[in-house]
């Protein structure tokens, strides 16, 4: 996979290639990553990439010519690469989109700045993607997040074949709870099933943990998920037990539990 980030601040991105999974993927040959300076494609002596908006208003707008020329320069080298513009108006980025982008031959990530980008350049990109309903000063942080999320899904990057299979959102649920040594931490012990060596029971516990954590923290994820009869029974039983505990504690005047799986 070839990643190219188009930005007016390439030095923001380059240190990112030097750490963690992304660095390992570069060293292992699974990806290449580069940041190209859009200013290199502006031909005036000031290397201008922005100008005042037609019609007036606040801020500056990125000019279409340097953007288009820098994009075409990359596409000449990577004709099969998909172009993604980081934009608050784009489709929300999620794990499903990360998996889809991981199947591309390459990604060109265009980072906007200032008040916005000339609309005529936006017609040249394949996709507009948003990291959420908030506004950043530029697309560089979003581009690095996409590189990270996509890279870890590529074959061989994480080492184990199933390393990413249990990530949060990979099957519509949050990830199960994790535990490590010591067995006893301030009076809280690791669930016995995780010490049993029974892999079937461990997998069952992990799935139940993921389901309950999703119910507790992100019920919206369950709205579009087709729950199995077993999952429905588990949630009904668990929720009924929770209501019973909360009612009993409210009667006794104690605080409700703050934890969960």
| pLDDT number for residue 21 | 96
CATH superfamily placement of domain 2-151: SPOUT methyltransferase, trefoil knot domain (3.40.1280.10)
**Residue 160 to residue 234: CA distance in whole angstroms:** 30
Q: Catalytic residue at 88?
A: yes
Marked catalytic residue, from 53, 88, 104, 175: 88
Structure tokens at 90: 């784009």
Alpha carbon of 32 to those of 2, 6, 35, 78, 97: distances in Å?
5, 14, 11, 12, 20
Q: What is the pLDDT of residues 98-132, one digit of tens each?
A: 999 999 999 999 999 988 899 999 999 999 999 99
pLDDT of 2 over the 90 cut: yes
* Pairing verdict, β 50-51 and 184-185: unpaired
Q: Comparing 148 with 260, which gets the higher pLDDT? A: 148
| pLDDT number for residue 261 | 41
Q: What is the pLDDT of residues 47-95, one digit of tens each?
A: 999 999 999 888 999 999 999 999 999 999 999 999 999 999 999 999 9
Structure tokens at 128: 């507009």
The arithmetic mean of pLDDT across residues 141-157, rounded, is 97
Q: Catalytic residue at 167?
A: yes
Marked catalytic residue, from 69, 167, 171, 231: 167
pLDDT of 161 over the 80 cut: no
Q: Catalytic residue at 115?
A: yes
* Mean pLDDT computed over every residue of the chain: 88
Which pLDDT band, with edges at 50, 70 and 90, does 251 fall under? low
Which pLDDT band, with edges at 50, 70 and 90, does 243 fall under? low
Strand order in the sheet with 50-51: 50-51, 61-62, 116-117
Which pLDDT band, with edges at 50, 70 and 90, does 259 fall under? very low
| pLDDT number for residue 256 | 41
Which pLDDT band, with edges at 50, 70 and 90, does 255 fall under? very low
Marked catalytic residue, from 66, 113, 152, 206: 152
Marked catalytic residue, from 37, 104, 115, 175: 115
Q: Structurally, what CATH architecture does the domain formed by 184-252 represent? A: Orthogonal Bundle (1.10)
Rg, Å, the chain Cα set: 24
Q: How is the chain split into domains, by residue range?
A: 2-151, 184-252
Cβ pair 16, 109 in contact under 8 A: no
Q: Please give the helix or strand (H or E) that residue 189 lies within, else none.
A: strand 188-189
pLDDT of 144 over the 90 cut: yes
pLDDT of 166 over the 60 cut: no
| pLDDT number for residue 258 | 40
pTM (2 d.p.): 0.79
């Amino acid at each position: 996979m070839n990643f190219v980030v188009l930005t007016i601040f390439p030095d923001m991105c380059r240190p990112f290639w030097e750490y963690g999974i992304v660095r390992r993927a570069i060293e292992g040959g699974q990806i290449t990553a580069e940041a190209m300076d859009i200013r290199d494609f502006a031909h005036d002596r000031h290397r201008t990439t922005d100008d005042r908006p037609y019609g007036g208003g606040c801020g500056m707008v990125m000019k279409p010519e340097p953007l288009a020329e820098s994009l075409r320069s990359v596409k000449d080298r990577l004709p099969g690469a998909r172009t993604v513009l980081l934009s608050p108006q784009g489709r929300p980025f999620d794990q499903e989109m990360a998996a889809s982008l991981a199947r591309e031959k390459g990604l060109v990530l265009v980072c906007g700045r200032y008040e916005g980008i000339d609309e005529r350049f936006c017609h040249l990109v394949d996709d507009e993607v948003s990291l959420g309903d908030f506004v950043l000063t530029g697309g560089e942080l979003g581009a690095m997040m996409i590189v990270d999320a996509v890279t870890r899904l590529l074959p061989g990057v994480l080492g184990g074949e199933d390393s990413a299979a249990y990530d949060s959102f990979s099957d519509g649920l949050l990830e199960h709870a994790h535990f490590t040594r010591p067995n006893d931490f301030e009076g809280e012990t690791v669930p016995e099933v995780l010490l049993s060596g029974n892999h079937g029971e461990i997998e069952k516990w992990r799935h139940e943990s993921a389901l309950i954590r999703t119910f507790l923290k992100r019920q919206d994820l369950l709205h579009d998920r087709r729950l199995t009869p077993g999952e429905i029974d588990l949630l009904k039983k668990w929720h009924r037990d929770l209501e019973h505990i909360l009612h009993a504690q409210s009667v006794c005047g104690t605080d409700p539990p703050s934890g969960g799986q």
